[in-house]
């Protein structure tokens, strides 16, 4: 399995993109969007946005982050991670 810190960084970057589950982005679109955010975010604004969303909208933020984690593991590592408890 991919390192948890790497997955967290990639998922946080995806969180800060305009991609959403209903768009059903393919792996290439996910990788491009994530790498663009990582390349552009020199100030840590993405981390601040993720933190602010978690405080302001904890439920929706949690659901979005779960989708982001699953999506980046699939896009970057080629597999769907098991759900907790499986």
Residue 32's pLDDT is 96
Residue 56 near residue 36 (C-beta atoms within 8 A)? no
Q: Left, alpha or beta for 85 (phi > 0: left; psi -120 to 50: alpha)?
A: left
Inside any domain, residue 51: yes
Residue 2's pLDDT is 63
Inside any domain, residue 85: no
Inside any domain, residue 83: no
Inside any domain, residue 82: no
Inside any domain, residue 11: yes
Distances (CA, A) of 26 to 41, 58, 72: 23, 27, 11
Residue 86's pLDDT is 45
Look up the pTM and report it: 0.83
Inside any domain, residue 86: no
Inside any domain, residue 49: yes
Phi and psi torsions of 79, nearest 5°: -150, 160
For residue 67, the enclosing domain spans 4-77
Residue 29's pLDDT is 96
Which tens digits make up the pLDDT trace of 36-81? 998 887 668 888 889 999 999 999 999 999 999 999 999 999 876 5
Inside any domain, residue 66: yes
Q: How many domains does the chain have?
A: 1
Query: How far is it, in rounded angstroms, from Cα 86 to Cα 81?
Result: 10
């Amino acid at each position: 399995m991919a390192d948890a810190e790497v997955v967290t960084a990639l998922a946080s970057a995806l969180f800060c993109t305009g991609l959403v589950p209903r768009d059903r982005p393919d792996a290439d679109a996910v990788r491009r969007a994530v790498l663009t955010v990582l390349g552009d975010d020199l100030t840590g604004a993405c981390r601040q946005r993720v933190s602010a969303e978690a405080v302001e909208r904890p439920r929706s933020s949690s659901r979005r982050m779960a989708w982001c984690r699953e999506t980046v593991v699939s896009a970057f590592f080629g597999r769907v991670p098991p759900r907790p408890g499986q």
